[in-house]
Amino acid sequence: MKQPTYETMDGNEAVARVAYRLNEVIAIYPITPSSPMGEWADQWAAEGEPNLWGTVPTVIEMQSEGGAAGAVHGALQTGALTTTFTASQGLLLMIPNMYKIAGELTPTVFHIAARSLATHALSIFGDHQDVMAARQTGWAMLSAASVQEAMDFALIAQASTLQARVPFLHFFDGFRTSHEVQKIAVVDDEVMRAMIDEEAILAHRARAMSPDRPVLRGTAQNPDVYFQGREATNPFYARCPDIVQTQMDKFAELTGRRYRLFDYVGAPNAERVVVLMGSGCETAEETVEYLVARGEKVGVLKVRLYRPFDVRRFAAALPGSVRAIAVLDRTKEPGASGEPLYLDCVNALRETGRAYVQVVGGRYGLSSKEFTPAMVKAVLDNLATRTPKNHFTVGIIDDVTHTSLEVDPSFSTEPDDVVRALFYGLGADGTVGANKNSIKIIGENTQFYAQGYFVYDSKKSGSMTVSHLRFGPRPIRSTYLVTRANFIACHQPVFLERFDMLRDAVDGGVFLLNTPYGPDEVWDHLPRTTQRRIIEKRLKFFVIDAVKVARACNMGGRINTVMQVCFFAISGVLPREQAIEAIKDSIRKTYGKKGDEIVQMNLRAVDATLEHLHEVQVPTQVTATWDLLPPVPPEAPEMVRTVLGEIIAGRGDLLPVSKLPCDGTFPTNTARWEKRNIALEVPVWDPATCIQCGKCVMVCPHGTIRAKVYDPSLLKNAPPTFKTTPARDRDWKERGWNFTIQVAVEDCTGCGLCVDVCPAKNKTQTRLKAINMAPQLPLRESERRNWAFFLSLPEVDRRELKITSIPHQQLQQPLFEFSGACAGCGETPYVKLLSQLFGDRLLVANATGCSSIYGGNLPTTPWAQNAEGRGPTWSNSLFEDNAEFGLGFRLAIDKQKEFAEELLRKLAPVVGDDLVTAILKASQRDEAGIYEQRERVAALKTKLRDLRTREARALLAVADWLVRKSVWIVGGDGWAYDIGYGGLDHVLASGHDINVLVLDTEVYSNTGGQCSKSTPRGAVAKFAASGKPIGKKDLGLMAMTYGHVYVASVAMGARDEHTLRAFLEAESYDGPSLIIAYSHCIAHGINMATGMQNQKAAVNCGQWLLYRFDPRRLAAGENPLQLDSRPPTKKVEEYLLSENRFKMLTKSKPQDARILFQMAQEDAERRYRLYEYLAARKLKPDAPAVAAGQTATTPSTTVTA
Amino acid sequence: MDLSTNYLGMQLKNPLVVSACGPLSEDIDNIRRAEDAGAAAVVLYSLFEEQLRLEMHELHHHLEHGTHSYAEALTYFPEPSQFHLGPEGYLEHIRQAKAAVDIPIIASLNGCSMGGWTEFARRIEQAGADALELNIYYIPTDMALSGAEVEQTYLDILKAVKSVVKIPVAVKLSARFSNIANMAKRLDAAGADGLVLFNRFYQPDIDLETLEVRPRVLLSTPHAMRLPLRWIAILYGRVRASLAATSGIHTAADVVKMLLVGANVTMLCSALLKHGIDHLRTVEQGLRQWLADHEYESVRQLQGSMSQIHCPDPSAYERAQYMRAITTYKVAT
């Protein structure tokens, strides 16, 4: 056995390295947290990295996990070594194939970063709900508890499946293991070769389908034999545990790392034992060792092979002394008599004659809920009671059904010789990257073991990251967050206003603060709580103006290198000189491929840092007169204050069950309370220069720029700095009204899109526009008052607006505001427009993706309400079913409306014929019509309330559906082009009155930029690391072939009025409508402040077309297709080179780039010619007239050349 | 008729050289067409110092921007283990050009500050360039910077480049020096193998609709050649370095004039952009015709024959000529 090589990596990389080496076909699809495994595989394949047998695996992205499973099944049947990676809903979509693969005894390993399922809510975080939902498929299930085990078990699973012919799910905890960085011993090729039985591979090949030795598989069977066939696999399952143990033993001989199907750790004479699997085993082991050392008779049984469940080995692994066990399940099966692992254990003890052992079951750790030594102790303490609580929960406070165990938060097993560090950073400042780097430096330059775990924000802009790092002399098993930190760094001083981050510092620890204030002045800029903590805990306090150092080194706001140097300089993990040299080496390694310029820039920052690092002489008195800001203002509604506010403050873990809704229903209109103050600079309006065009309001992705017109008499109580100017638009001017553009500076992200699109120039200083960026802090207080006053001004009557004109339309109140989307997001301007136009009667079905995250990720939602309490109602079902989900809305609305109309007719004698007729005949084609119908329905409801009849009550419940509702199905291109396309196609074909908005970023943005079928040719994306060789799917053209579908392709940055027109036409069309909206995206590698220019450039070169296909035009004898793009005026390459997604191909594969860019030019020209041709066709003179609104039965457009 | 000339120590078949310009040399086919049309050498489009720096920063920025902020999207791009950065594309272009034609290929490096970029000269040499044209394009906007310091920068850059390559190096100069002759002499002394007179700075323009400054490229007009004409005449015979005339050379007559004052080669750009690369044939034909008509046997024979040291009236290139010009000027009536 040779000495292993140690490297630092996360669980995903550890697993992918093995899986890639041991397979030939890899079918993938992105889903958090397993996506990085597929990304690694794709990247290695793109770079020609061979597998263990010298051939480069074929990596293919499929349209869904269902598709990936199908491709895997096919590849396995045809003899290739095949794998996939997935999690959560993805695994659920694979289940049908998994039954087949197991039923056919096919060896394969699926690697699962185990994750929660979408139930009352989606969660990307880790638990075992997904794998538990697949436990009945006949797959073996091997559970890894750490990054090291994940790498080891990836190999053991592969070796075992080839021997056993039973397919394996190899799973490890999402995020806690998949994303935890650890120093591990790497499994090398030699070990892999020794473990993999080549004969078993040949046997797999020999079983494969081949016309040279034909077989029939996948038959249909009848009652006579199906059952027997099902039982025929039994011997394979019976042999499987022995095979796995044999492979584990063989692995131990090769590596020295010994595993058993059930690994027991603890006192040999233990009386109380906790049984569990996954990353919690590590914490349990750490806790048990701590307690045993203090004389407690306790132990932990770590379940490795969960299926097939080896009852005999389970019982044998438990010491005979055991009196009681607590079985912990990281899952929830409502209504079951117990969770699955618990029931397995109960049964195993009974079957092995040890039913006398008391067994209790409990749930823990759902959605990566913390699982700490204190919780393990609580579980063991529960076993020590006379009547241990069964079916308990641990880690939450359940004040509803009182399942939870009491936990002593002061209990800790953290040893003193482990460095425990916490870093609070901003996403954009590079803190996480630097910390990953520090782990590598320490892991690879010292004997220390290292661990890093990173907690991210649910917001995509201005997001806070918290890095939890540990370094110590022994392998680190603490699979929980650092709570007793001996080093805390705050990389952004603004966090001190919001978080009590020093709460977690140990006495005598170190606090490092990046601040513009020097050591002599910083004290006066700290809140009371921070000052008190520093004094009480006797912290050593250091400051550095990292921004100044970084800027001087041309690094902008990326203070990562500077802060990293500070950490090494004062933490003492490494001798200072050695640390600096190691950082410099690491910089050369990390940035070398990006050019000497980047290396030098970082090296300069290293050298410039130490002279700016100062220790602060800590005063003895707390002097601050201010303290932490409340998460939400006191006037916020109760739900916002007591629940959402607590989540904002980082205290969500402490919320008891009773505070949470029982069915996942939350109020809208809540983002307005979360004043994030994340912009360093905000737009400032210059009324003298402004032409009141509304463009800045329209493009603002975050709804923070608003315009209003109003009677100037309302300005009586205006704050002194409130800006106003006479309205220029004739309609308002005639009334003598004023106009104001107001910025919500506390909600603004500072993206700068508004400034970029502003067409007005200051006459005396042309660098200034009518809206200009200025530092936020000096404006915060005055603009907060101005915003409040602005909101108090009345909204203009929607009936008076000319909604085809942007200056008018943009006066409509947005009912989508302050989203946490990326600063400068290209999607949200469309979503906001939707909310302005139809928000007060809007139902949104939202596919999973960016829009469901910035739309519906707790704590708050940007979906808002107007003064009447009306606003969009929103829900996310799944990724794959969104079109069908939205169609369901329409069907329900139409059915209930129909029922209401039926009841109305019946009740006409009672409520009055005139009212009934007016309601039934109402035209609701414009705002006035809708307003009047609302008035009528209100009158009807008043009458109905006085009637006590069954029919009146029934009508009252459905009467609101008599007012026209607008159903929008919203999602990204991953949904519309790929996973949801089948459903989308069907819904469009259905002819029902739904509207589809595809926010087309041409990539899976939310999961980090994986290729979709919308990705254009030549773009570099994850899963298309070599540049996408195939052109973009023309979704619009496909939809047009139905003839009855309204289709529009828009790009707001190219022509905003075209976008507006398309939205209005789509909504007014009484049939299915599809709007494909080009959305620039952070995943394009562009300057987000000028994203609208990228949209324009895409249109100008013909890469993106503007068009509308309106079936109603047929009625007038017109061609339904209108090509609204002018012929391309620029070369496609010019546009391609303006976005990193294309340009980087010229740096990674220059030859391919040349070819693909040329093809992209040809694509654009061909597409333009085709659309031009189609739009120029004249209808046959005798073509049948088609009535507007005719839907499913409408014949296709009849056009002739 | 012997049209051959010597430039930077290279024997050229004629004095017609395609000057550094993207549209003329970005496409290898155009370089081939230039050779076919009679060009004696091609100066490739410039590799800009800023471009090299910017590309690195840009790539780095876009690969890092927005990363490690949000749990589902820790990065947005695959990161290959290697990038073809900086001059890779340019170097490949040199290699391709060299493979495509037999005439000398002169690479062009454009920069204005000291720094690592001068190292690229070495890689340009390794890629096979026959010579290097150093285009020092400096717009001093710092009011504290003296002319002497600016001049020193030119010399430092030249020395840095000369220290890393063996191929000849020409310096493309601006005409904006207090004493061009002195500058030329110092560059000559610092090792410049050639002086290219003059760089035509792209001057900013204003778009009256958008009120934005636009770097509009204006093609040269024939009268632009008067400035290099004068200075080549003055420098001829006084510096060791070859002299290349550029700016405003459109016709065979222009070429002849430049050769008369002492240019080793004439560089054409605007005329080729305007009339096509084949225009070189016309110019060459015109040159032959003029030489024949005036009974010259070779280009060398007329080179420098009207330079300041050889012409009948040396003051014609000096201030005296100006006095004459204004005194003989008549206001149109």
- Count of residues in chain B: 333
Catalytic residue among A382, A530, A786, A1006: A1006
β-pairing, A1121-1123 vs A1107-1109, is antiparallel
Identify the pLDDT of residue A1050: 98
Please determine, for residue A594, whether its predicted confidence score (pLDDT) is greater than 60: yes
Alpha-carbon gap: A37 to the closest alpha carbon of chain B (Å): 12
Q: Given CB atoms, is B206 within the 8 Å cutoff of chain A?
A: no
For A685, residues 6+ apart whose C-beta sits below 8 A from its C-beta are A723, A740, A741, A742, A743, A770, A771
Q: Decide if B171 contacts B134 (C-beta within 8 A).
A: yes
- Would you say A36 and A87 are in contact if contact means Cβ atoms under 8 Å apart? no
End-to-end CA gap in chain B: 47
Q: Is A966 exposed, middle or buried (0-12, 13-18, 19+ CB in 10 A)?
A: buried
Give residue B142's pLDDT: 87
Confidence band of A427 (pLDDT split at 50, 70, 90): confident
Dihedral in degrees, nearest 10, Cα atoms B207, B208, B210, B214? 10
Torsion, CA A214, CA A219, CA A222, CA A226, rounded to 10: 90
**CB atoms inside a 10 Å sphere around CB A339:** 21
The model's confidence at residue A853, banded by pLDDT at 50, 70 and 90, is very high
pLDDT of residue A1200: 39
In DSSP notation, B17-44 reads EEPS-HHHHSSHHHHHHHHHHT-SEEEE
Among this protein's residues, is A1065 annotated catalytic?
no
B63 and A CB contact within 8 Å: yes
Q: Tell me: pLDDT of B293 over 60.
A: yes
User: Would the pLDDT of A1186 be above 60?
Assistant: no
Residue B50's pLDDT is what?
79
Calculate what percentage of chain B has a pLDDT beyond 70.
94
Rounded mean pLDDT, A744-765: 95
Q: Is it the case that residue A1201 has pLDDT exceeding 50?
A: no
A1006 annotated active-site: yes
| Cα–Cα distance, A820 to B70 (Å, whole number) | 11
Contact A163, A247 (CB under 8 A): yes
Q: What is the pLDDT of residue B320?
A: 59
Helix (H, G, I), strand (E, B) or coil at A425: strand
Residue A305 in contact with residue A244, Cβ under 8 Å? yes
Count the Cβ atoms, other than its own, within 10 Å of residue A1200: 9
Tens digit of each residue's pLDDT (9 = 90 or more) over A522-534 = 999 999 999 999 9
Task: Using a pLDDT cut of 90, give the percent of chain B over it.
Answer: 60
Residue carrying structure tokens 């300057």: A1087
| Residue B85 or residue A110, greater confidence | A110
Residue carrying structure tokens 């007169």: A625
**Predicted local confidence at residue A1196, as pLDDT:** 40
* Cα separation values, A598 from A79, A590, A604, A1063, Å: 47, 10, 10, 45
- Percent of chain A at pLDDT > 70 equals 98
Give which of A124, A455, A596 to mutate to test B binding, by max B Cβ within 10 Å: A596
Whole-angstrom distance, CA of residue B134 vs CA of residue A439: 45
Q: What is the ipTM score, two decimals?
A: 0.92
User: Chain A residue closest to B49 (CA)?
Assistant: A597
The predicted-structure confidence for A595-623, as pLDDT tens digits, reads as follows 888 898 999 999 999 999 999 999 999 99
A719's tokens? 């704050």
Cross-chain residue pair A822–B66, CB shorter than 8 Å: yes
Domains and CATH numbers, chain A: 6-254 (3.40.50.970), 260-394 (3.40.50.920), 419-616 (3.40.920.10), 630-667 (4.10.780.10), 678-812 (3.30.70.20), 893-962 (no CATH), 1001-1179 (3.40.50.970)
What are the φ and ψ backbone dihedral angles of A841, each rounded to 5 degrees?
-140, 35
Q: Is residue A115 annotated as a catalytic residue, yes or no?
A: yes
Structure tokens that stand for B329 in this block? 């000027």
User: What are the C-alpha distances in Å from B241 to residues A70, B186, B207, B237?
Assistant: 73, 11, 41, 9
- C-alpha B298/C-alpha A486 separation (Å) is 85
Summarize pLDDT for A462-513 with one digit per residue, the tens: 889 999 999 999 999 999 999 999 999 999 998 998 899 999 999 999 999 9
Mean pLDDT of the A25-42 span: 97
Distance CA B255, CA B261 (A): 10
Q: What is the pLDDT of residues A920-956, one digit of tens each?
A: 999 999 999 999 999 999 999 999 999 989 999 999 9
Are A1147 and B64 an interchain contact pair (Cβ–Cβ within 8 Å)?
no
Residue A1176 main-chain phi, psi, to 5 deg: -90, -10
Beta pairing partners, A464: A426
User: Is B143 in contact with B75 (CB distance < 8 Å)?
Assistant: no
Q: Which residues pair with A1109 in a beta bridge?
A: A1047, A1121
What was the pLDDT predicted at B116? 59
Confidence of residue B23 (pLDDT cuts 50, 70, 90): confident
Q: Who has greater pLDDT, B86 or A92?
A: A92
Question: Given CB atoms, is B82 within the 8 Å cutoff of chain A?
Answer: yes
At A1182 the pLDDT is 53
> Is A1082 in Cβ contact with B65 (below 8 Å)?
yes
A873 is catalytic: no
Is residue A1065 within 8 Å of residue A990, measured between CB atoms?
no
- Burial string for A645-679 (b: 16+ CB within 10 Å, else e) reads bbbbbbebeebebeebeeeeebebbbbbbbbbbbb
Q: What span, in angstroms and rounded, lies between the C-alpha atoms of A42 and A36?
A: 10
Quote the crossing angle between the two packed helices A560-571 and A576-591, to the nearest 10°: 150
Q: What is the pLDDT of residue B326?
A: 57
Contact: B63, A595; criterion CB under 8 Å: no
Q: What is the pLDDT of residue B48?
A: 84
pLDDT at B322: 60
Whether A52 contacts A192, CB under 8 Å: yes
Residue A791 pLDDT > 70: yes
**pLDDT for the residue numbered A1043:** 96
Residues of B in contact with A33 (CB under 8 A): 71-72
Alpha-carbon distance A834 to A874, whole Å?
Answer: 13
Q: A727 CA to chain B: closest CA distance, Å?
A: 24
Q: Are A1084 and A1001 in contact (CB under 8 A)?
A: yes
In this predicted structure, which of A585-589, A655-659, A850-854 has the lowest mean pLDDT?
A: A585-589
Please give the Cα distance from A1157 to A1155 (Å, whole number). 6
Which residue, among A39, A49, A37, has the nearest Cα to A11 in the 3D structure? A37
Structure-model confidence comparison of residues B310 and A708, the more confident one: A708
pLDDT number for residue A1194? 40
Residue that the structure tokens 């904006």 belong to: B176
SS3 for A764-822 is CCCCCECEEEEECHHHHHHHHHHHHHHHHCCCCCHHHCCCCCHHHHCCCCCCECCCCCC
User: For B88, which residue in chain A has the nearest alpha carbon?
Assistant: A1147
* Beta-strand runs (E) in A130-206: 140-144, 168-173, 181-185
User: Could you give the maximum distance between any two Cα atoms of chain B, in Å?
Assistant: 81
- In this complex, the residue of A175, A430, A1086 whose CB is nearest that of residue B64 is A430
Cis check: omega of the bond before A57, within 30 degrees of 0: no
Distances (CA, A) of A771 to A672, A753, A757, A825, A833: 23, 10, 10, 19, 21
Instruction: Tell me the per-residue pLDDT of B181-226, one tens digit each, with 9 for 90 and over.
Output: 999 999 999 999 999 999 876 778 888 888 888 877 777 888 888 8
* Strand, helix or coil for residue A422: strand
- Which region among A597-601, A736-740, A996-1000 has the lowest average model confidence (pLDDT)? A597-601
- Tell me the shortest Cα–Cα distance from B60 to chain A, in angstroms: 6
Among the partner residues A594, A1006, A1025, nearest to B73 by beta-carbon distance: A1006
Please answer whether residues A1187 and A1112 qualify as being in contact, where contact means their C-beta atoms are separated by less than 8 angstroms: no
| Structural tokens at position A183 | 């120093």
What CA–CA distance (Å, rounded) separates A636 from A672?
Answer: 9
Are the C-beta atoms of residues A481 and A456 closer than 8 Å to each other?
A: no
Q: Which structural domains are found in chain B, ordered by start?
A: 5-305 (3.20.20.70)
| Contact list, B53 vs chain A (CB under 8 Å) | 597
Residue pair B4/B33 in contact (Cβ under 8 Å)? The answer is no
Q: Which of B60, B80, B212 sits opposite A1148 (nearest CB)?
A: B80
Average pLDDT over residues A746-770: 95
Which of B28, B70, B82 to mutate against chain A (most A CBs within 10 Å)? B70
Substitution target in B52, B74, B213 with the highest count of A β-carbons within 10 Å is B74
By C-alpha distance, the chain A residue nearest B74 is: A1008
Mean per-residue pLDDT of chain A: 95
Given pLDDT bands bounded at 50, 70 and 90, which one contains residue A1180? low
* A300/A288 Cα distance (integer angstroms): 7
For residue A51, pLDDT over 50 is answered with: yes
* CA–CA distances in Å: residue A770 to residues A65, A409, A599, A690, A763: 49, 55, 40, 5, 10
The arithmetic mean of pLDDT across residues A712-735, rounded, is: 97
**pLDDT given for residue B327 in this prediction:** 59
Q: Look at A489 and B112; give whichever has higher pLDDT.
A: A489
Residue B137 is predicted with a pLDDT of 76
Whole-angstrom Cα distance, residue A285 to residue A299? 8
* Whether pLDDT at B325 is above 80: no
Active-site annotation holder among A12, A32, A331, A995: A32
Are B70 and A427 an interchain contact pair (Cβ–Cβ within 8 Å)? yes
pLDDT value of position A860: 96
Residue spans of beta strands (DSSP E) within A391-448: 392-394, 419-426
pLDDT digits (tens, 9 = 90+) for B224-281: 888 999 999 999 999 999 999 998 999 999 999 999 999 999 999 999 999 999 999 9
Q: Is B219 on the interface with A (CB under 8 A)?
A: no
The sign of the torsion formed by the CA atoms of A620, A624, A628, A634 equals positive
Cα–Cα dist A1194/A1197, whole Å: 9
Measured from the Cβ of residue B146, the count of other Cβ atoms closer than 10 Å reads 10
Whether residue B72 and residue A1006 make contact (CB cut-off 8 A), yes or no, is yes
